[in-house]
Structure 1
Amino acid sequence: MRIEMKGIETLHRVLDKLSDVQQRQVPFATAKALNSLAERIRMGERAVMRQRFDRPTGYTMDSMYIRYASKSKQYAEVKIKDSAYKAAPAANWLNTEIVGGPRRQKRSEKALSIAGLGSYWTPGPGAVMDGFGNVGRGFVVKMLSALKAFGEQGYMANRSKSQRSQRKARNFDIFIGTPNGEAMGVWQRVAMGHGTALKPLMWIQNDAPAYRIRFPFDKIAGNTFNAHAPAEFERALREAMATARP
């Protein structure tokens, strides 16, 4: 989201009344006001994220950054990180919340597709969730490994050769299918009494899950800007004039 002072009628009325000395301070005051507004916008976006998302992670909450304005660059930007080192960038999932529609595949789902086991999955009643309400990463790796979705090399690399690890792998008896006419998913056979029962871990589908708009990023930014831009500019201009050289 790019923010600049163009088109604000109340600001033009202020500018028309400034002296030549005051006019020289306008670029500095504009940059100062834009940066304050950018901070307000980021704070407002984070507040909405806390309200609309279920236990958002620190990684998600810290995904917005500011490109600050200066005297020579009379605009500021509030953006969402679209790159990351050894992790999926937050833009991958936040963009779907911003514009709605089908979401992108996750890394684990791409591995699932490569193995020909499905395209998308969502948690079932037996999924192991982390403290943020997401499917636990270790649980996903364990499922993909058990399903050999990493290929034989990755499958073996994610398992220790110890007897204890091999025993745990045998006990994690899972498969993909539609047992007894149930929905397509990842199912686990679990011991129950003298027999076994089936527990759904993940549901699988080929069509991308569709999302409604929950995080109207541009609207939040626009409302914050319109509400505070005139006051922020006037305050910044007063501060600039107080330190201006005659």
Structure 2
Amino acid sequence: MISIKVDTRATMSALSNATRQIPYAISKGINDIAVGLQKHERGVMESVLDKPTKYTLNSLFVAKGSKANPTATVGLKDVPKHSTHYLEPMVKGGRRHKKGNEVAFGNRWLTPSYAAAELGLIDQYGNFKRSVLQQLLSYFSAAERSSGYSANSTNATRAKLAKMKRTYWDSKTGKMKTVTKKQLIKDPTRGYKTIGGKQFFISMGRGSGGSGNQHLAAGIWQKSGVHGVDVKPVLMQAKAPTYSKRFDFYGEAQRFVNKHGAAIMSAAVAQALKTAR
């Protein structure tokens, strides 16, 4: 958060003949500087951050000053009460706090897998889709721990997502075919158990499990196909991410005020003199 103050002694002198406009000129100049700074910082974010979302670009607020208190503030919106803003590691460097979904999934650091884009799970900004993330939280009955409301999947919902069926190899066509209801009535065990949609499961990491024979890396996986043999990673457990300082929020603010502050204040003074009565 940045509080903007400017040396107003020259301004006071210029306004000696229009004393009633002094508070207005000062507060307007300060507020115009703050609005200009907000726009400048947005431009900096666009250039130094990787595909910033609209939410990120609009994450700065301006609290304007008044004639009685000519101090304007430019800061980050929605700072959590018991944590730090998600952009703070970009401003100061270092580690970020775990996200709500990471806490819900066993307090682990998570990152999208190499297959996430192939599976259509990544949005235009390169982030994991929020809708899919909510689906995963619901699937593993972790939604309440993450978002504070009940949105957990039922067995029926999971079954609908899996689209279970039985298939068999048709040697005439050289393709896998679905066992019909009539065929299942005659022989319920015909064909192979097949996941027509998808199922999700969690791996605790290589060597884990009751028999210690888990060969998949720790994370959330998706399976489909005959006996669920088509397995692909979705979200992988990772080491705590460490960020380098990329967004020089405070330095950019100082440079902007040094470069443009006087001109903006002078323009406010000129308008005050013009409108003086």
1:56–1:147 distance in 2 versus 1, CA, 3 Å: same
For residues 17 and 36 of structure 1, the distance between their equivalents in structure 2, rounded to whole angstroms, comes to 20
Q: Match for residue 126 of structure 1?
A: 115
The answer to whether residue 224 in structure 2 is matched with residue 229 in structure 1 is: no
Does structure 1 retain, via aligned residues, the 8 Å contact 2:137–2:152?
no
Structure showing the higher helix proportion among its residues: 1
Matches within 5 A, 1:176-195: 176-179=203-206, 183-191=217-225
Q: Secondary structure at the match of 1:199?
A: strand
Q: Secondary structure at the match of 2:114?
A: coil
Q: CA deviation at 1:131?
A: 2.1
1:175–1:201 distance in 2 versus 1, CA, 3 Å: same
Matches within 5 A, 1:83-232: 92-113=85-106, 118-127=107-116, 128-150=121-143, 157-159=152-154, 161=156, 165=160, 167-168=162-163, 171-179=198-206, 183-191=217-225, 196-205=229-238, 207-232=239-264
The answer to whether residue 38 in structure 2 is matched with residue 4 in structure 1 is: no
Does structure 1 retain, via aligned residues, the 8 Å contact 2:141–2:153?
no
Matched AA of 2:252: I
Does structure 1 retain, via aligned residues, the 8 Å contact 2:203–2:219?
yes
Does structure 2 retain, via aligned residues, the 8 Å contact 1:146–1:172?
no
Q: Match for residue 45 of structure 1?
A: 41
Give TM-score, length-normalised by structure 2: 0.70
Q: CA deviation at 1:58?
A: 2.0
For residues 224 and 47 of structure 1, the distance between their equivalents in structure 2, rounded to whole angstroms, comes to 12
How much identity, in percent, do the aligned residues show? Answer: 29
Query: Once the two structures are superposed, what CA deviation does each residue of 1:47-96 show, in whole Å capped at 9, x if it has no partner?
Result: 11212223322222222111112211111011211259xxx9xx631122
1:48–1:159 distance in 2 versus 1, CA, 3 Å: farther
Does structure 2 retain, via aligned residues, the 8 Å contact 1:173–1:190?
no
Q: Secondary structure at the match of 1:73?
A: coil
